[in-house]
Structure 1
Amino acid sequence: MSEEPTLKKQKRQTPLILSASTRATAINWKDPEDTSREFSSSIEPWIKLAKLAESGKFHSIFFIDHLSWFDVYGSSHESSARTGINVSRIDPTAALSALSLVTDNIGFGVTVSSVSEHPYHFARRLSSLDILTNGRVGWNIVASYLPSVGPSLLNGEPLPEHDERYNKTQEFTDAVYSLLLSSWRDDALVYDKINKIYANPDAIRPIDHKGQYYNIQAPHITEPTRQRFPLIIQAGSSPRGKLFAAENAELIYIHNTAKTHDDIADIRHAAQKYFGRDPSSLKFIISVTVYVDKTHEDALKQEQLVKDLQDEESAFVYFGGKSNIDVKPFEYDEPITFKGKVNGVSETADNLTNSDKSKPNNSKRQLYETQLRKKSKYVGTASEVADLLEEAIKETGADGLNFQQTSFPSGLEQIVELLIPELQKRGLAQTEYTSQKGTFRENFFGNKGQTFVSKDHPVHDLRWESGVSKEEFEERLSKTIEIRNERRKTALETLEK
């Protein structure tokens, strides 16, 4: 995407940004001691997760979510049901209000797809979440990739092609920006009991969104929130996804692969070149799975237990859901072939085609043995794992870590009890939150008082600030959108070349 994919490493933030991810069920749900199944049936494990992560001074909980079944493998939901891959699921946003009551500082990065609902409805939900959590919400913007979204949410129409999904997602996001930032002036809510004025009608305007997918000519129905807009998160790895991140994201979740450093440099370069952003203002967290214990041998036993409880069907269901490639028709050692671009996560398919050539023919055997049962990089005592994580940060140029759940609660408990103190001792993990009872953005950037996006962010001037007349704001808004559209056009044209 960029002309300089090896852009000079940005100075990383110290301490590291730490996030704990969630899953529908943990990888190791078959372990008799694992209780992750209860995430789908009770609020209690969510509360335990939030309290535990906050006790470790994590910046956030990263709520992973998918809208529908992983039903590519065998063209059916049956294997997903049998293996427990991506099922069952509750809406994670439903838990946030409860979690905000039992915690004070940790942020909640919640995944919500642009195909899940109309942007006007979602804007109200997003504002509501930010209000009820007192400004501790981030929105992980995703375009969805599961083909089962078509029958379940798109009236039976097929899932749009990859780049078209991003076009729709950008328009969806633009509409939400307008509703939260450009409809109510900061001081629109008056609440004047003496003069009997609740809100100043001259400080509330309908947005004027006329796009390919949505037409919204109405004011937002919810008052401005403490953050004005939640922390903006993104997790795309394709060229189009990286361009979307370069324009929009404050936090990017990225898989830890051999090309992570170049991907990070690529996004930072694009952010600066096309959108005028300070590349160091984009923060990256890499995915890590750790097995940490008091002795190296005990950590190895943890890892081996997870491997022993994995099965091939689970691996193939997961791969199919991520890549949109059904490997069921292939024999075990038959080469897996597919034509053209996949309509799922391109990185997942790339891992198959670029995998270990010493194994037979990119087959199901190779997929299972080298891709989905591969040895974890981060196994050992707290000191050993900290060494490995520190090296990973140096190699990738990332700003933090997103810890994947293997078993719950034991996996996170050992990270908090053993690994976090070691990272804190090295200055790699915070010992306290920057802003007590602060917003997600304040604690994320380590800057008390930064409740809104930085001045160089493309949406900064979409905000209708106090005291600015409607006429003055709309004149400025028109220029801001014109500049944004021109920059976006240039970036897309360059990408297409």
Structure 2
Amino acid sequence: MSSADSPAANTPLNVLQGTAATPQKYGYKPDGSKKRILLNAFDMNGIGHISAGQWRNPVDKSQTKNRLDYWIHLAKLLDRNGFNALFLADNFGSHDVYTGSHAPAIRAGSQWPLYDPFVIVCAMAAVTKSVAFGITACTTFEPPFILAKRFSTLDHVTNGRIAWNVVTSWSDNAARAMGMEKLPEHDLRYEIADEYLSLMYNRLWEGSWADDAVVKDTANGIFADPSKVRKIVHHGQFFKSESAHQVDPSPQRTPVIFQAGMSPAGAKFGAKHAECIFMGGMNPAIVAGKIAKTRELAKEQGRDPDGIKFFIQFTPIIAATDEEAQAKLEHHRQHAIPEGGLALFAGISGIDVSQFGLDEEFPTDLNDPRLERFAPGQRERLVARPRGYTSWTPRILGQYQTIGGSGNFYVGSGKTIADRIEEWITQADVDGFNIGHVAVPQAWEDVVEFLLPELKKRGWLGDGGYPVPGGTARENLNGKAGASRLDDSHPGSSFKFEVWDATKDYIGREEEKEDYVKAA
């Protein structure tokens, strides 16, 4: 049976109940054919990504993530079976909100230890041809020039199969790890990120080198024509950089841009910059409304609103039958560590639920005096509870969090899970799914064995292969051979070397503008 039909049903903690009376049907092209749905494997280079405690499950291989064999096996699996991308989450610092200590997270292995996601990509790219690699990197902590160089290098060595999941961070613990007192205020982080992206793709990736700058003239000893390599001078509110981009034009120039975050500031940022948006939520009707709003914001900025792809987190537990899938869930639960689930929940939400007794019922009223110390969003999160739960305590929350984290998960056969996926496609206007996991790499092996054949039979995966075999991430994302660069409606396109007018694009002090224009 599906988890939606049982007390194990997972509606995220911040879900808003209710569905549209007559859901709009999405998922079809103007000619009436079904659109090709995109599937990403959602992983993290470390222990306890979204299912705390599974490292002690005999079928789980997450303890081997610090060895290349794990990643090579996974990359080959995804590439053979037409997955759009391997989406690699990341985090900085340890989760230290629960009990005011990082001990619970470290003890349970809740996103601890974590390894760098960048260093494993080259090995995976060497054994694959088409699957893309989406890497999470933060605009709050790292200098833009260094990150631009790293992504361009990866875009070269992977033949253009790189995407960047842009995050601004949510953790003061991470900020302290980077030498800051705390994170900048929420909306300010997006202002910083906006300038960061402007410097990255507008000036370094797109505007610094002409397409034909590399000449490799052996007779005259000229590798690149200096007249076609522009020095970038950026004197902004948050960043200052003066240099040509160190890396020659890569296949995509700008990696495919992913973004997550549906706050007003996050939605505005995503509508401007993102090519793919990773969303949370369990109610298709509500998610459909958020997607429609973001598409409208994109249109207001002159972008093609249908050019943005929306992905929903979706963690399936699959087997040959519903009964076998339920048995698999029960097996996984035997290895879960609820304390680790609470550490993860508290770290992400900022709510230290140890302030409640382990078996104390959470409030059901936003005006409950016990909630006075929490911010409005935190109050809503504590008051909300998944469908099917008549009791909601820290102990139950911890158990709930150990299977797929706060995201939705479903339990059943390939047919049952395909039914749920179709609901999302036709009711929420999503373009793809970030497929989460409990045990790894079993989760995606099960998707290949039980789910993909059903989705192919229903016509949601095209012919099951890549639209552009061996193509770039952007070509396969949009199904268009030859379309490796940002589309014309994206703001980064106006900064391509051939069309960028430096005199009309200046960020900095007026007394420095003349030097800027001369250099540009």
**TM-score after normalising by structure 2:** 0.83
Q: Give yes or no for the alignment of 1:138 onto 2:163.
A: yes
Verify: 1:158 aligned to 2:182, yes or no.
yes
Of 256, 264, 288, the residue aligned with 2:291 is 264
Mapped pair 1:25 → 2:50: no
Assess if the C-alpha contact under 8 Å between 2:117 and 2:135 holds in 1. yes
1:494 aligned residue = none
Q: Does 1:316 align with 2:342?
A: yes
Q: CA deviation at 1:169?
A: 1.6
What's the secondary structure of 1:270's corresponding residue?
helix
Query: 1:77-88 alignment to 2 at 5 Å?
Result: 77-88=102-113
Gaps in structure 1 of 5+ consecutive residues: 1-5, 466-472, 483-497
1:226-305 superposed matches below 5 A: 226-258=251-283, 259-273=286-300, 275-305=301-331
Confirm whether residue 351 of structure 1 aligns to residue 403 of structure 2.
no
Structure 1: distance between partners of 2:491 and 2:25 = 23
Q: Deviations over 1:209-243 (max 9, x none)?
A: 11122111221111111111110110112221111
| Matched residue SS, 1:29 | helix
Shift of 1:53: 1.1
Question: What secondary structure is seen at the aligned counterpart in 2 of 1:173?
Answer: helix
- Structure 2 residue matching 1:148: 3-state secondary structure: helix
What residue is the counterpart of 1:493 in the other structure?
A: none
Cα contact 1:188–1:203 (8 A) shared by 2? yes
Q: Deviations over 1:345-389 (max 9, x none)?
A: x6x774334336997897525644666669965222111211121
SS at match of 2:461: coil
State the alpha-carbon separation in 2 of the partners of residues 113 and 87 from structure 1: 19
Structure 2 residue identity aligned to 1:216: S
Deviation at 1:30? 2.4
> Is 1:455 paired with 2:479?
no
Overall identity of the aligned pairs, in %:
33
Match of 2:458 in 1: 426
Matching of residue 364 in structure 1 with residue 394 in structure 2: yes
For the residue of structure 1 that corresponds to 2:133, the secondary structure is strand
Cα separation, 1, equivalents of 2:91 and 2:327: 31
* 1:19-418 equivalent positions in 2, closer than 5 A: 19-23=40-44, 24-26=46-48, 27=51, 28-39=54-65, 41-153=66-178, 155-177=179-201, 178-258=203-283, 259-273=286-300, 275-332=301-358, 333=360, 335=363, 337=371, 339=373, 341=375, 350-355=380-385, 363-365=393-395, 367-368=397-398, 378-418=410-450
Structure 2: runs of 5 or more not aligned: 1-19, 30-34, 364-369, 508-520
Residue 290 of structure 1 contacts residue 385 of structure 1 at CA under 8 Å; is this kept in 2? yes
Aligned residues: 462
Contact 1:9-1:265 at 8 Å conserved across structures? no
What's the CA shift for 1:75?
A: 2.2
Partners of 2:252 and 2:485 within 8 A in 1: yes
Question: How far 1:29 sits from its partner (Å)?
Answer: 2.2
Conserved? CA contact 1:112–1:140, under 8 Å: yes
Provide the rounded CA distance (Å) in 1 between the counterparts of 2:217 and 2:353. 64
Q: Secondary structure at 2:353's aligned position in 1?
A: coil
Instruction: Provide Cα deviations, 1:254-302, integer angstroms capped at 9, x if missing partner.
Output: 11322211111111111112x1111111101111111111121110111
**Partner secondary structure for residue 243 of structure 2:** coil
Asked if 1:446 corresponds to 2:473, the answer is no
- In structure 2, give the amino acid aligned to 1:458: P
**CA deviation after TM superposition for structure 1 residue 98, in Å:** 0.8
Q: 1:36 to 1:370 in 2, by over 3 A?
A: closer
Partners of 2:38 and 2:323 in 1: how far apart?
Answer: 29
